Amino acid sequence: MMSEQVVVGCGYVGTRLARHYRDAGQGLRGVVRSEAGVARLAQLGIEGVDYDLGGDDPGDLGLAEARVFHFAPPPGSGVQDPYTRHLVEVFERYGHPQRVVYISTTGVYGDCAGRWIDETHPVQPAADRSRRRRDAEETLRRWSLASGRDLVILRVAGIYGPERLPLERIRAGAPMVRPQQSPYTNRIHVDDLVTACIAAMERAPSGAVYNACDGHPSTMTDYFLEVAAAAGLPNPPLIGLEEAADRLSDGMLSYLSESRRLRNDRLRDELGVVFRYPSLAEGLRAIFSPE
């Protein structure tokens, strides 16, 4: 019998993945942390479970022998991920899943001064949000070693797609830094990420780590300019980095302080993922001018 899929953290990416398994006639449950989330999934014909990984007492989520996609983000502060630790306690108490596919982030590499890097680059997170991700990866790796169950980690770049573009920010006229001072960023279209997640579940070797990005990085400023052009919106005003320190949010400044260009050869060559949207241009065209 085919084992059940469970998406822990069934939001933007998870719901699209859940639709794939639903349409293939395979069982899938989505774990969210609100009744509204359960209702949203029910409308799509997906069984939802309301369970907060931030709760005190690990409860049985029915994950024994399941195939688990863990997409729930860590909390907003600290350098550890107590949610992933909680999930591992659930496994230990109620039974281990067959395999976990975990969405981490490319932030674990820290600042690479714009260099091209692949998965062999050492993990050296600079921001706390990325330290929490390193903690989650390490927690899951320890679990996999101790339990003998499979783990695949996808280090995911900036996710974009329908309803996931910085249009409000651009409409509000928020500034961006000048191209010459702008760091490199990496992206992936949500549909290609879903393809990568399925490939990771179906055929990746246990212990594997993949960069999940389209392999066509650009500067952060180019990203905003391309999105504005595709949406027919005015370009954001461009300012210097010094002025940016006063005018941009701490979150944006943190992203601007890291620059890296990520290779995705392993995802394409080893896992055989074929990108529908190999660059931002194709992805934006599909969103704004669908055929």
Sites of contact with ligand NAP (CB under 6 A):
9-14, 31-34, 37, 51-54, 71-73, 83, 103, 105, 156, 158-159
Contact 207, 266 (CB under 8 A): no
Strands 99-105 and 150-156: parallel
H helices of 24-147, in order, are 35-43, 82-94, 128-147
Minimum CB separation from ligand NAP for residue 196, in Å? 12
**For ligand NAP, which is the closer residue by CB, 31 or 244?**
31
Minimum CB separation from ligand NAP for residue 86, in Å? 8
Minimum CB separation from ligand NAP for residue 1, in Å? 27
Phi, psi of 29 (to 5 degrees): -120, 150
**For ligand NAP, which is the closer residue by CB, 22 or 178?**
22
- The H-or-E segment that residue 226 falls in is helix 220-231
Q: Return the bridge partners of 111, or none.
A: none
Minimum CB separation from ligand NAP for residue 29, in Å? 12
Minimum CB separation from ligand NAP for residue 223, in Å? 11
**For ligand NAP, which is the closer residue by CB, 24 or 36?**
36
Q: Output the CA–CA distances (angstroms, integers) from residue 5 to 22, 93, 112, in the order listed.
A: 10, 19, 36
**For ligand NAP, which is the closer residue by CB, 51 or 109?**
51
51-84 CB burial, b ≥16 within 10 A, e <16 = bebeeeebeebebeebbbbbbbbbeeeeebbbbb
Minimum CB separation from ligand NAP for residue 291, in Å? 26
Separation of alpha carbons 220 and 256, rounded Å:
8
Contact 208, 155 (CB under 8 A): no
**For ligand NAP, which is the closer residue by CB, 156 or 271?**
156
**For ligand NAP, which is the closer residue by CB, 82 or 95?**
82
